[in-house]
Structure 1
Amino acid sequence: MKCPYCGKEDSRVMDSRPTDDGSIRRRRQCDSCGKRFTTYEKVETVPLMVIKKDSKREPYDRKKLLAGIVRACYKRPISIDRMNEMVDEIETEIFNSGEKEIPTTRIGEVVMDKLKDLDAVAYVRFASVYREFKDVNTFMDELKKFLV
């Protein structure tokens, strides 16, 4: 890191700590002049694009994911904190996949896996919208998975 005082390239990190905005604050000392200075580093993230069913692409939006889960969990004994935790888990899974574009079908499957473990009614609600059940028989087929 270039020293702002003498312009030399050699400096050492004396202290590092995360900041509230997600960046890293580093306290440095120049090896040449001995003066200290602070730098801030921010991790550069590649925006995740979501591929919709009609092949349109749009940026990933956490609010949309949370809204779908909140609708599925409506009047169920699930706290908003638990729903936010679930969104965090889903985001971790999809962001760690390393893909720059992800289809909504993949996100929907991850959500259904999480809801299946959390609450059967919320799972069926989400699945009925996500899978677009056309008739009662397809709905019953999904319910039979829980009755076994």
Structure 2
Amino acid sequence: MRCPYCGSLDTQVKDSRPTDDASAIRRRRICSDCGGRFTTFERVQLRELTVLKRSGRRVPFDRDKLQRSVEIALRKRPVDPERVERMINGIVRQLEALGENEISSETVGELVMEGLKGLDDVAYVRFASVYKNFREAKDFEEILERLSSPDAETGADGATEESGIP
């Protein structure tokens, strides 16, 4: 493992233990050259996922990018970090379970919105406003109406949302 401080490849593992939900191994490392200490996480990866962007570009799936996006939506919200980690692990498992190596960015976005809806309404609206590219106040009104309706999964006409996810 390369040292993030000096770039040396001569690092040693000082401590290893599973994370609280046992989905990863947490390793404390020290660099033999500069003495820097850092933590790494080792996770099981079932397949190499590629995200197909709206522009047509293909990029490797990045779990850390997913986590950063969720953390931005949840900034200053009272949500237990363990619940966030479980949600992210669940999204990654769902993506891997699709059986496709290439997934659309829309699929990822809809799964994140679905997960945030169960965690925190404010984070859900924050994420939706960026993901759906809100341009007017009425865009917020529409999503808030859907959020506050008794059956949030269906619209007023009884039709399911256009997410495309079963």
- TM-score normalised per structure 1: 0.68
Uncovered stretches (5+) of structure 2, i.e. residues with no partner: 1-23, 26-43, 150-166
Q: CA shift at 1:44, angstroms?
A: 8.7
- Could you tell me how far apart the structure 2 residues matched to 1:118 and 1:84 are? 11
CA distance in 2, matches of 1:51, 1:113: 20
C-alpha separation between the residues in 2 aligned to 1:84 and 1:44? 16
Distance in 2 separating the partners of 1:68 and 1:146: 21
Are residues 1:137 and 2:132 paired? Answer: no
1:45 offset after TM fit, Å?
4.7
Partner of 2:157: none
Distance 2:60 2:89 in 1: 17
Q: Give the TM-score normalised by structure 2.
A: 0.61
2:120 maps to 119
Q: What is the correspondence of 1:44-83 to structure 2 with a 5 Å cutoff?
A: 45-83=46-84
RMSD of the TM alignment (CA)?
1.9
The answer to whether structure 1 residue 87 and structure 2 residue 88 are counterparts is: yes
List, as ranges, runs of 4+ consecutive aligned residues in structure 1 with deviation greater than 6 Å: none
Higher helix share: 1
The alignment of Structure 1 onto Structure 2 pairs a total of residues equal to 108
Q: Which has the larger radius of gyration?
A: 1
One-letter amino acid matched to 1:122: A
Query: C-alpha distance in 2, partners of 1:136/1:111?
Result: 22
Measured in 2, the distance between the counterparts of 1:58 and 1:103 equals 10
Cross-structure match for 1:109: 110
Counterpart of 2:96, as a letter, is: F
* Helix, strand or coil at the partner of 2:122: helix
For 1:75 and 1:44, the matched residues in 2 are separated by 30
Once the two structures are superposed, what CA deviation does each residue of 1:73-120 show, in whole Å capped at 9, x if it has no partner?
001011222211111000011100001100110000011011111110
* Partner SS state of residue 134, structure 2: coil
Distance in 2 between the 1:112 and 1:123 partners?
6
Quote the residue 1:40 is aligned against: none
Give the percent of matched residue pairs that are identical in Structure 1 and Structure 2: 39
8 Å CA contact 2:47, 2:96 repeated in 1: no
